[in-house]
Amino acid sequence: MFENLTGRLQQVVKNLRGQARLTEENIADAMREVRMALLEADVALPVVKEFIAQVKERAQGREVLQSLTPGQAVIQVVQEELTRLMGAQSVPLNLASVPPAIILMSGLQGSGKTTTSAKLARLLKEQKKKVLLVSADVYRPAAIEQLKTLGKQLDIECFDSHAGQKPADIAAQALDYARRHFHDVMIFDTAGRLAIDEAMMAEIKALHVQLKPVETLFVVDAMQGQDAVNTARAFNEALPLTGVVLTKLDGDARGGAALSVRHVTGCPIKYVGVSEKVDGLEPFHPERMASRILGMGDVLSLIEQAQKSVDLDEAKKLADKVKSGKNFDLEDFKAQMQQMRKMGGVGALMDKMPAQMANMASGVNPEAGDKAMSRIEGIINSMTPLERRKPELIKASRKRRIAAGAGVQVQEVNRLLNQFEEMQKMMKMISKGGMGKMLRAMQGRFPGLR
């Protein structure tokens, strides 16, 4: 999402290289570029003005330390101000109340409110909370069924509301049910509209008074740009919002909403939607997002994702095999891909990489990479256990059988076996301490690698 903004900010650093000191002139030039980058990213104009003024004031006359170039000094200030703009620090949900703690979800239709409700319920379930999902979107009958389907998929109870009921009646009955069945949290999904209207606002205000939620979250589509800011302002004036959830942060919009909504509402961004999958909701960390925007990546989130998704025992076994250079077979190769899939696939990994690493992989299409992994997994699944342990046994007739079973051409099987053979050779080099030798071998095959 922030690709263009990241590129423009990195250009600012390049332009400042080689200069011994930050002066009024080069700071002004840098700020002009930063201003253009933010406006192109669809950041609201008042936000841009305040941001630029803060950065300029802090950078003005700042001498370069021995360890910092002028470019690095400016980026340090920009990073700190970006973090402050988005909230300075992450703010968790406040569920300290007599059960059930009620979370009221608000936002326009199409912002991802219903799926976000289910994703949030999943996160709370992981924290050992007993959650009840409730839909009061009686104007879009599919919304009620959608939430019930998601609840069933996640094994989370969903209150049995229907389109013929009034939202106030659903609220009263659901709250009574949650109390009688000892639910810790009740997530209440309200109705949205295609645009802000008086009827919707009156209804959600009444529900807020009736339910007295501990959290009132505003769900906004990050791809809306300036419209997201206007919508956020309207909801903030109507409701005492406690937090914001930004959805579709994996889209191809320019990302301005992420930098504007916090400033406009004064409410912390608590979660971000990073994919359409049920596990595609993450706590928002302003300092990590600032690092991603500046092309530094989000290594901490990557590590946390790995800790949650990767089987540590399996990872250790695999590491031991790599270290020894022995017994690494196609079953291990498949396990590697499955671990990557659990972490969100190629796209999720590339999105959190530092810009330099992501640029090295810029030729990789994340969607094509995920499809390729699925195809390779299908080929390996078509092999017998013996063939996976001893790929050298796979000759012409076996290749034809495997290709037919996986629904691919024989050339695909050959390509996989060749790639696996190359990987085995590299692992043997690593196990013998030949990292330099391995890199020289890679440079021979890939002349652009230096």
Inter-residue contact 286 to 86 (CB < 8 Å): yes
**Are residue 202 and residue 253 in the same domain, yes or no?**
yes
Q: How many residues does the chain have?
A: 450
First to last CA, the chain: 29
The confidence score (pLDDT) of residue 57 equals: 78
**Are residue 108 and residue 236 in the same domain, yes or no?**
yes
Rounded alpha-carbon distances, angstroms, from residue 259 to 18, 151, 269, 300, 352: 30, 32, 10, 21, 18
Inter-residue contact 393 to 386 (CB < 8 Å): yes
Query: In this structure, is residue 92 part of a structural domain?
Result: no
Query: In this structure, is residue 450 part of a structural domain?
Result: no
pTM: 0.62
The confidence score (pLDDT) of residue 186 equals: 94
**Are residue 126 and residue 269 in the same domain, yes or no?**
yes
Query: In this structure, is residue 439 part of a structural domain?
Result: yes
**Are residue 188 and residue 43 in the same domain, yes or no?**
no
Condensed to tens digits (0 to 9), the pLDDT of residues 369-386 reads 667 777 888 888 888 988
Low-confidence ranges of the chain (pLDDT < 70): 1-22, 60-72, 88-89, 194-195, 224-226, 250-258, 292-327, 340-370, 427-450
**Are residue 78 and residue 140 in the same domain, yes or no?**
no
For 324, the domain range is 304-445
Strand order in the sheet with 281-283: 157-158, 131-135, 185-189, 101-106, 215-221, 243-247, 269-273, 281-283
Taking the C-alpha atoms of residue 272 and residue 123, their distance in angstroms, rounded to an integer, is 13
Condensed to tens digits (0 to 9), the pLDDT of residues 248-258 reads 776 545 556 66
**Are residue 290 and residue 309 in the same domain, yes or no?**
no
We report the CATH number of the domain holding residue 107 as: 3.40.50.300
Mark which of 264, 296, 328 sits at the end of a domain.
Answer: 296
Rounded alpha-carbon distances, angstroms, from residue 317 to 130, 160, 323, 334: 36, 46, 10, 14
Taking the C-alpha atoms of residue 450 and residue 435, their distance in angstroms, rounded to an integer, is 14
**Are residue 143 and residue 279 in the same domain, yes or no?**
yes
Query: In this structure, is residue 91 part of a structural domain?
Result: no
Query: In this structure, is residue 94 part of a structural domain?
Result: no
We report the CATH number of the domain holding residue 21 as: 1.20.120.140
Inter-residue contact 289 to 86 (CB < 8 Å): yes
The confidence score (pLDDT) of residue 439 equals: 44
**Are residue 113 and residue 252 in the same domain, yes or no?**
yes
Mark which of 251, 270, 296 sits at the end of a domain.
Answer: 296
**Are residue 291 and residue 322 in the same domain, yes or no?**
no
Query: In this structure, is residue 96 part of a structural domain?
Result: no
We report the CATH number of the domain holding residue 408 as: 1.10.260.30
Taking the C-alpha atoms of residue 347 and residue 268, their distance in angstroms, rounded to an integer, is 27
CB contact set of 374 (below 8 Å; sequence gap of 6+): none
Rounded alpha-carbon distances, angstroms, from residue 226 to 85, 258, 441: 17, 11, 51
**Are residue 356 and residue 437 in the same domain, yes or no?**
yes
- Residue whose C-alpha is closest to residue 308's, from 342, 274, 354, 346: 342
Query: In this structure, is residue 193 part of a structural domain?
Result: yes
Inter-residue contact 104 to 213 (CB < 8 Å): yes
**Are residue 114 and residue 239 in the same domain, yes or no?**
yes
Strand 157-158 with 269-273, pairing: unpaired
Taking the C-alpha atoms of residue 143 and residue 115, their distance in angstroms, rounded to an integer, is 9
**Are residue 174 and residue 206 in the same domain, yes or no?**
yes
Query: In this structure, is residue 407 part of a structural domain?
Result: yes
The confidence score (pLDDT) of residue 298 equals: 43
Domain count, the chain: 3
Mark which of 236, 269, 296 sits at the end of a domain.
Answer: 296
Structure tokens at 312: 């540590």
